[in-house]
Amino acid sequence: MKKILAILCIGLGMVTYAQEFEISAELKPRFEYRHGYKTLAVDSLNAATFVSQRTRLNFGYKSEKLNAYFSVQNVRVWGDVSTLATSDRNGTTIHQAWAEAILNNQFSIKFGRQEIIYDDQRMFGNVDWAQQARSHDALIVTFKPNENNRIDLGLAISAEGETLTEVDYTVNNYKSFQYLWYHTNLKDVGLSFLILNNGFAYDDINDEQQVDYNQTFGTHATYGKSKLKADASVYFQTGKIADVSLSAYNFALNAHYAISDSFNVGLGGEYLSGTDMNSTDNKLESFNPWYGTNHKFNGWMDYFYVGNHINNVGLVDLNATFAYKKNKFSAILVPHFFSSAATIVDGMGDEMSNTLGTEIDLAVGYKFSKDINFQVGYSQMFATESMEVIKGGDKDATNNWAWAMITVKPSLFKTSFKKDDTKE
C-alpha cells in the first residue's frame, strides 16, 4: 500500500502539459474590374482593372498557460513597383502580434495587435475581404465562468509616439475605446450584449484638440433548430462626435431555411438611421457600424459604410439569399433593394424619392483542396436619381463589378510536444 501511495505522489508531482506550434501562410491574389464600384460610374471614364494581392506568414503557439500569435503581411497591387525596384511600395507590416496569458480556468488576458471579432461582425470584425484587413492595438480581459457564458472587457488607447507631454493625435483612428461584451447560450438561442464607448479627437473652434465620446449599446441574438436559422440585432448610439450630439439606431432581422442539404434560401432586412439632408438641427442621427466587416452587409459593391456613406441619410436594405453548396462547389445569389432612411433633397432643395436602387450579387466558388479555394463574382447596380444625388455619377451608366480570386492557405509546419514543469 505504501508503494502505491508513493507512486501516486510521484505521478502528481510530475506536471506535464501539451504545447503546439504552427507556421502557416496565406496567398490571396484577386483580379477586379470596377465600373461603378462604391459609387456610380461615368461612361466617359474607363473601368479600372487590376490585381491586388495579400501575402501572409503566420506563427501560432498554444500551451496550458500561454497562447501567442504573430502575423506579418505584404499588400500590393501587381505592378505597383517596377521589376527592378529596390524597395516595396507598401512594405511588410505586422497584422497581428499578441499574447494571451491563461490565468486560470476562468480568466485570461490578451494584449497586443489583434483582430477583434464578435457575433455577426456588424460592430467588430476583421474585414477579411479587404486585403489589408483590420486589427487593433488593444487589451482584452476574458472571464468564462462556464462553457455557456463569456464576458470580455476591451481597452485601447492610441498615441502617435512616445512623448514627454501631450500632443495632438492626427491618425484617422479612435483616441481610445472601452467595451463590455457578454455572450450566453440558451439551448437553441445565442444572445450577446455590447456596450462600447468610443473617443475621437477633433479640433474645436479655437483650433485646439478635444476628445468627444459616443456610446453604442445593443444586443444580437441567434436561433438555430432543424432547418431554420435566424438572427436579429438592435443597437443604439448616443453621445457626441466633434461637438455634435448623436442619436442613432440600427436594427436587423434575417432568416434562412434549408430546403435541402444543398439548397438554402433566406430573407433579411436592415434599417440604419440617417440624418435628413434638409435638417436644420445641430444633431447627427446617422448610425455608424464602427469596426464591423461592412463588406459583408448591404451589397458587395460597397456603396454603403465601406469607407463611405458615413453621417449620411442612412439605409433600408431588404434582401434575399439563394445559396447552393454541394461537394466542392458553391454558389450564392443575393438581390438587395435599397432606400434611404432619411430625407433626400436635390440641389434645389426639393424632396426626392427614398428609393436608391437594386443591386444583384452573384458568387461561385470551388474548393479545389483543403488549402486552395477558387472564387469568382459579379455584381450590378440599378440606381435611381436619388442615388445620383448622394453619390454623384450617372445612374444610366452600366454600373457593374466583377472579380476572380484564389486563396491559398497552407500549413507549412506543425508540431506538438509535452513540457515537464518538474524540470524547471
Please say if the pLDDT value at position 123 is more than 90. yes
Report the pLDDT value the prediction gives residue 17, as an integer from 0 to 100: 66
Report the pLDDT value the prediction gives residue 28, as an integer from 0 to 100: 98
Would you give the end-to-end CA distance of the chain in angstroms? Answer: 30
Report the pLDDT value the prediction gives residue 10, as an integer from 0 to 100: 42
The model's pLDDT over 382-422, given as tens digits with 9 standing for 90+, comes to 999 999 999 999 999 999 999 999 999 999 999 998 766 55
pLDDT band of 16, cuts 50, 70, 90: low
Report the pLDDT value the prediction gives residue 420, as an integer from 0 to 100: 63
Report the pLDDT value the prediction gives residue 423, as an integer from 0 to 100: 54
In percent, how much of the chain has pLDDT > 70? 95
Give which of 234, 263, 287 is closest to 119, Cα–Cα: 234
The model's pLDDT over 27-38, given as tens digits with 9 standing for 90+, comes to 999 999 999 999
Decide: helix, strand or coil at residue 393.
coil
Query: With 0-12 CB in 10 A as exposed, 13-18 as middle and 19+ as buried, what is 288?
Result: buried
d(CA 130, CA 73): 13
What distances in angstroms separate CA 349 from CA 143, 278, 282, 344, one per listed residue?
53, 7, 18, 9
Please say if the pLDDT value at position 220 is more than 50. yes
The model's pLDDT over 308-332, given as tens digits with 9 standing for 90+, comes to 999 999 999 999 999 999 999 999 9
User: Contact at 8 Å (CB) between 351 and 345?
Assistant: yes
User: Contact at 8 Å (CB) between 142 and 152?
Assistant: yes
Q: What is the CATH number of domain 19-423?
A: 2.40.160.100
Cell numbers representing residue 6 in the block: 508513493
Sequence ranges of the domains in the chain: 19-423
Query: Other CB atoms closer than 10 Å to residue 281's CB: what's the count?
Result: 10
The model's pLDDT over 93-110, given as tens digits with 9 standing for 90+, comes to 999 999 999 999 999 999
Give which of 296, 202, 283 is closest to 244, Cα–Cα: 283
Residue 18 or 404, more confident:
404
Cell numbers representing residue 32 in the block: 477586379
The model's pLDDT over 230-289, given as tens digits with 9 standing for 90+, comes to 999 999 999 999 999 999 999 999 999 999 999 999 999 999 999 999 988 889 999 999
Report the pLDDT value the prediction gives residue 4, as an integer from 0 to 100: 43
Report the pLDDT value the prediction gives residue 404, as an integer from 0 to 100: 98
d(CA 160, CA 117): 25
For 359-377, b where at least 16 C-beta lie within 10 A, e where not — what string? bbbbbbbebeeeeebebeb
Mean pLDDT of the chain: 94
